[in-house]
Structure 1
Amino acid sequence: MSFEIQSINTEDKAVFYAELAQQARGLLHGEHDRIANAANFAALVWHALPRINWCGFYFFDGRELVVGPFQGKPACVRIALGRGVCGTAAATRETQLVVDVNEFDGHIACDAASRSEVVVPLVIDGELLGVWDVDSPEAGRFDDQDRIGMELICDVFLQALSRPANTEAA
C-alpha cells in the first residue's frame, strides 16, 4: 500500500488539524495493530506538523510509560507516572500544554533542544493506553488550538484501535 502525505495549509490551525485527522483516518483505515498504527501516525504527524523536533508515543505497561514508535532523536525509554510532562498527563489523564518546559517543575529533558510540549493521554474504555507526546524547539510553539487539534487526531488513532477486527472470510 502506498500513502501520499498531502500538503496541508498551516495558517488556520482548525483547518490544519481537521485535514490532518482526515489523512490519519485514511492512513489507519482497516488496520488495528497498535504498533503499526502508532508508527504510521507518528510519521504522518512528523511530516505534516511544522516546527517540531519530536513526536511519538509512550505506552503504559501496567507500571510505567515505555517509549513506543516515534520520530526524532532517541528518547527516554521509561517514565514513571506523575513524573515529567508525559507522566503527569498519564497520571491526571488530562492533556498537558507546556509553553516553556523550563518552567514545568520536574520536566524530563530527553532532548535538551525541546522548549515547548503538548502531551495527550490515551484512554480506551477507562483504561490508560499511554500518551501522545509532541515537542518543539520553540518556546510557545503550542497553544490551545494545538491542544484541541492534538486531541482530535489522537481520537482518530484511538478509534482505529477500537474498531472490531475484520472478520471477513479469506
Structure 2
Amino acid sequence: MNYYTMNLALNAIAKSESKDLSKLCNAIAGIWENATDINWVGVYILDEQNDVLYVGPFQGKIACANIKMNDGVCGKSVYEDRVIRVQDVHEFEGHIACDSASESEIVIPLKKDGKLWGVLDIDSPKKGRFTQEDEDELVKIAKVLEKCLI
C-alpha cells in the first residue's frame, strides 16, 4: 500500500469543508484507491444500546449489515478495544464471512472524543496480506480517519 499518498489524501479530506458524512465516505474511497490486494474496506459503527456494530461507508462487495459485539473479527476488536490482525480468516474462531474470497483481515478500533466509535475493517483475498508494518501504518491512517467520523 502507498501509505504516504494515502495519508496525504486522508489529511486533505479531513481538513476539507465537507460535511462529516461526506468526509468519511471520501476517506474510505481514498483508502480503497491507494490500497493493494484488498477486496473490502469500510467502517462498522458501534451501537452501544444494542451491543451491535452496523455497517457504515465502505468499498467492496455487499457487506454484513450488523455484527454483534464480540462476534467475528470486528466484534472482538470492539469488545477488546484492540487491533486484530488475522493472517488466515479460516483459522479465526467465529470469523464472519461476508465475502468468501476474503483470506486475511485487519480491524482497527476508531475513537471519537476519546470514546469507542467503531472500527476500520480491511479484508484481503491474500493469506498473510497484513504485516506488522501494515498494522503500524494503518493505525496512523485510522487516527486521521477519526477526524472524519460522524
Count of residue correspondences: 148
**Which of 96, 113, 116 is residue 84 of structure 2 equivalent to?**
96
| 8 Å contact kept, 2:24–2:148 | no
**Match in the other structure for 1:80:** 68
**Match in the other structure for 2:3:** 17
Identity value in percent: 41
* Compared CA separation, residues 130 and 33, structure 1 to 2 (3 A): farther
- The amino acid across from 1:54 in the alignment is W
**Match in the other structure for 2:138:** 150
Over residues 79-118 of structure 1, what are the superposed CA-to-partner deviations in whole Å (9 max), with x where a residue is unaligned? 0111100001111110010000001010000000000000
Once the two structures are TM-superposed, the CA of residue 58 in structure 1 deviates from its matched residue by 0.5
| 8 Å contact kept, 1:97–1:119 | yes
**Which of 128, 131, 136 is residue 140 of structure 1 equivalent to?**
128
1:80, 1:109 → 2: CA distance?
A: 14
Over residues 103-149 of structure 1, what are the superposed CA-to-partner deviations in whole Å (9 max), with x where a residue is unaligned? 10100000000000000000123311110000000000111111111
Once the two structures are TM-superposed, the CA of residue 17 in structure 1 deviates from its matched residue by 1.8
* Compared CA separation, residues 32 and 123, structure 1 to 2 (3 A): farther
Matched, 1:49 2:25: no
Once the two structures are TM-superposed, the CA of residue 41 in structure 1 deviates from its matched residue by 1.0
Give the TM-score normalised by the residue count of structure 2.
0.91
Alpha carbon RMSD of aligned pairs, Å? 1.6
| 8 Å contact kept, 1:132–1:154 | yes
| 8 Å contact kept, 1:39–1:69 | yes
| 8 Å contact kept, 2:105–2:122 | yes
- The amino acid across from 2:122 in the alignment is V
2:72, 2:61 → 1: CA distance?
A: 18
